[in-house]
Structure 1
Amino acid sequence: MILPKSDFLKARDFILTNARMIERRLFEFHFVNGDMEGVFHAVYAYRNPDGGFGHGMEPDTASPESQPLFSIMALETLDEVGYLTKEMILNDFMPYFESITTEKGGIPWMFRPKSNYPCEEHFKTVKEWAALSTTAPLLGILEKYKIDIPWMKKAEQFVWSEFERIQDKHVFCYLCVPRWLTFLEHTKSRENAEKIIHSLKKWILNNGIIFEDKTDKGWGLYGKPHSLNYAHSSQSILYSLFTKETIESDLKELINRQKNDGRWDTWYGISEGTKLEWAGIQTLWVLKTLKNFNKIEKYI
């Protein structure tokens, strides 16, 4: 089963008329003309004078304040489109990350907002200590771009200790695991990395992490992941976990879940506007995943 051209165009139109500029530029990059400059400018619109990224780069908060997670998202997005460089990482990103590094050597996931801008309640109670799911991808990108700076030594010690500490506690989080894999793919410590990858595979398969009830509206959303959340292409490290039948079944279900207006929906959002923004994010993610598996009818 593939996504018909007519339904792809519906998804395109939904993104172009409802999504944020960053998703519109990413859609243009992946499906139209590969323009990296547009993505760069959309990402840097969220940048603050302190070098961090804020302004609701995740739509669950309207706060302009810089957040570690949003800064990681900016880094990942520029890497995704091939715009990132070693010099950009060192000059534009690392001063901010070094300024928020904790005594343990890692960077926090989020900070509680100091402003009274609208946000989801979980932002107001977030733990501000160092986190694996921000520190690991930062280290992974530093390794990928052949960067070697003193900051990395203690950060790497923190990451390995966190893998040991949390074990399987967060494998349900399909936003966290791919960020761990960025580090595990690029770290020079291959023996340690292979051990963790082996454990990850075991945890995902043995702990009932994969949510199989396709009648549930939350299937594929936070806390209810399917195979494609962990293996978004055949090149993914965790792709071998799943049978071809499982992948095909989940791709078919994804296609079937498209709404009449072209979107793929979520339950996220603190307003009607941010619900549309989240739908734009989800729709782009689905289209990229379908493209990775050659499941979109030729559209140009």
Structure 2
Amino acid sequence: MILPKNNYLKARNFILTNARMIERRLFEFHFENGTSEGVFHAVYAYRNSDGGFGHGMEPDTASPESQPLFGIMALETLDEVGYLTKEIILKDFMPYFKSITTEKGGIPWMFRPKSEYPCEEHFKTVKEWAAISTTAPLLGILEKYEIDIPWMKKAEQFVWSEFERIKEKHVFCYLCVSRWLTFLEHTKSQDKAKKTINNLKNWISNNGIICEDKTDEGWGLYGKPHGLNYAPSTKSILFSLFSKMTMESDIKELISRQKDDGRWDTWYGISEGTKLEWAGIQTLWVLKVLNNYGRIQY
């Protein structure tokens, strides 16, 4: 099944009229020959003087405060468009990440807000200890760009110990898994990485992680993943985990879920405005996935 040209144009128009600047710039980069420099400027609009990123880079919070996760999102986005360099990582990112490193060697996922701004409730109760979901992708990016700094040694020990400790506990979160894979793909400890990847495949296959019920409104959203969440392209490490029939079925269902105004929706959002922002994020993600599988008519 292919997304018809008219439906693609509806999605394009939804992004360009409703999404945040960062999603609009990313859309232009991926689909309309936009520049990576444009994405860079959109990303750095969220940057603070402490070197961290805030200002609602994830729409679940309106707080301007720097959050570790937002720094990881910034790194991932610059890497996605080919703008990231060793110099940018070391100069613009690592001073902040070093400043928030815990005694265990990892960096937290989030910090509780210190200022009064609207946010989802989970921000107010977040555990501020070191997290694999932020430390692992940071290490993976450092390895990818052939960076070797003392900070990495203890951080890597922390990540491997966390893989052993948490096992399959967070495998339902496909966003976490994709960030683990950044580390597992690029770490020099490939024997350990291959074993961990095999464990991931077993956990995803055998623990009822994949949402089989396509009548569920939450299908494909947080906590109810489908195959494309784990394998957003044929080059994905976990692509071999899914049959051709499964992926065809997921692509068909994904295309069918487009709304009349061109969006793919989510249930996220602390306001009507942030629901639109999340819809912009989701719509861009769907278009990138369909493009990766050659399923858009232009």
TM range (shorter): over 0.9
Report deviation, 1:34.
Answer: 3.7
Cα-to-partner distance string for 1:42-88 (whole Å, 9 max, x where unaligned):
00000000000000000000000000000000000000000000000
Matches within 5 A, 1:216-231: 216-231=216-231
Report deviation, 1:31.
Answer: 0.1
Note if 1:234 corresponds to 2:234.
yes
Q: Do the aligned partners of 2:55 and 2:65 also contact (CA within 8 Å) in 1?
A: yes
Matches within 5 A, 1:249-260: 249-260=249-260
Secondary structure at the residue paired with 2:174?
A: coil
Matches within 5 A, 1:1-300: 1-297=1-297, 299=298
Matched residue count? 298
- Measured in 1, the distance between the counterparts of 2:151 and 2:86 equals 15
Secondary structure at the residue paired with 1:11?
A: helix
**TM-score, with length taken from structure 2:** 1.00
- Measured in 2, the distance between the counterparts of 1:174 and 1:262 equals 24
Percent identical residues: 85
Query: Could you list the runs of 5+ residues in structure 2 that have no partner in the other structure?
Result: none
Report deviation, 1:18.
Answer: 0.3
Q: Structure 2 counterpart of 1:94, which letter?
A: M
Query: Could you list the runs of 5+ residues in structure 1 that have no partner in the other structure?
Result: none
Secondary structure at the residue paired with 1:33?
A: coil
Q: Structure 1 counterpart of 2:71, which letter?
A: S
* CA RMSD after TM alignment: 0.4
Q: Do the aligned partners of 2:25 and 2:34 also contact (CA within 8 Å) in 1?
A: no
- Measured in 1, the distance between the counterparts of 2:267 and 2:190 equals 39
Cα-to-partner distance string for 1:187-231 (whole Å, 9 max, x where unaligned):
000000001000000000000000010001000000000000000
- Measured in 2, the distance between the counterparts of 1:195 and 1:128 equals 29
- Measured in 1, the distance between the counterparts of 2:118 and 2:179 equals 27
Q: Do the aligned partners of 2:47 and 2:53 also contact (CA within 8 Å) in 1?
A: yes
- Measured in 2, the distance between the counterparts of 1:113 and 1:195 equals 38
Q: Structure 2 counterpart of 1:128, which letter?
A: E
Moved over 6 A (4+): none
